[in-house]
Amino acid sequence: MELREFSSKISDLITSASKSVVTVFTIVPSIDIFFRYREVRGAGSGFFVKPGLIVTNAHVVMNAREVVVLVPRYGKERAKVLVVDPFRDLALLRVGLRDTEPLPLGDSDKLKVGDLVFAIGSPLGLPGPSVSMGVVSALGRTIAGENIVLEDLVQTDAAINPGNSGGPLINVDGEAVGVATAIIPYAQGIGFAIPINTVKRFIQMIEEFGAVVRAWLGVYVTPLTEEAVKLYELPVSEGVVIVNIVPGSPADKHGLAIGDIIVEANNKPVRKVSDLRAAVEESIGSECVNLKIFRGHKMISKCVPPVVERVY
């Protein structure tokens, strides 16, 4: 494919995808240091996943008194916040438009380091959408915020600035493969996105249970790397390593330990963080999650009951 032809194709897919991307404006009530009421105005991005249904970040609309979205071809529309999940940093909004164009959702499990991606949104609250191009820099990243830990993120060097939060990360087929969620302010060219498969499970869970439900074991994990396998001469090549355990959690009470390598959950292989999370969420309503764990050159089994909480 010639460069001109490639450029034209990219331009066409961005034009098409941008029809589904919105700018999100919020008004959040606040009290200043002198105990005076004031309203803080914010801006972010979002995109249609179904007619009239918009996904964005939880931190974009959290505690907002009013949410207005700027929809291509329609202008400003008031939006209703349906659900907010701070643990996934996802939220769903509803607008009274039924002929909006949903963005096709891809498969984030197929992403590879080096894949070309595009971040679409409204950086710095400027009227958008605008686009930046980059590659997938890494997969399965974990970042810790002030009150939250986000796991299994897609790292990209596509420019993601304040205001991009909630906007889509799309692939060369014009499919959403992630939701832009965070930047590292002291780093150059590092941004993160929530995998679109996490968004799919989020929506499916709401449709199934009528609310945001969180199931957890109390472990923080990271994917097993080839370097670690070679360094420690491990007989397993895939799995996730437990790097921290929440005191008093089911994982703590049932004897899981830092350094354990989880290789299977409910008889399915665990290769990345999302595999474990999916198994835990699929266990809602079951007695426990059956784990196969490699520890100290031995394979052991654990049956750990998840904690199930209604988030919103």
Query: Cα separation of 185 and 162, whole Å?
Result: 10
Instruction: List all residues 6 or more positions away from 225 whose beta carbon is below 8 Å from its beta carbon.
Output: none
Distances (CA, A) of 114 to 117, 155, 171, 182: 9, 11, 11, 20
103, two tokens: 């963005």
Query: Cα separation of 289 and 279, whole Å?
Result: 7
Chain CA centroid to CA 139, Å: 12
72, two tokens: 């291509």
Q: Would you call 59 a catalytic residue per the annotation?
A: yes
Q: Which amino acid is at 84?
A: V
Which one is catalytic: 18, 20, 45, 59? 59
Query: Cα separation of 178 and 180, whole Å?
Result: 6
270, two tokens: 């665990």
Which one is catalytic: 20, 130, 165, 283? 165
Cβ contact 122:167 at 8 Å: yes
Query: Cα separation of 51 and 61, whole Å?
Result: 20
Q: Would you call 254 a catalytic residue per the annotation?
A: no
Q: Would you call 165 a catalytic residue per the annotation?
A: yes
Cβ contact 112:155 at 8 Å: no
Instruction: List all residues 6 or more positions away from 106 whose beta carbon is below 8 Å from its beta carbon.
Output: 170, 171, 173, 175, 176, 177, 196
Q: Residue for token digits 């970042």?
A: 143
Query: Cα separation of 122 and 23, whole Å?
Result: 6
Which residues are tagged catalytic?
Answer: 59, 89, 165
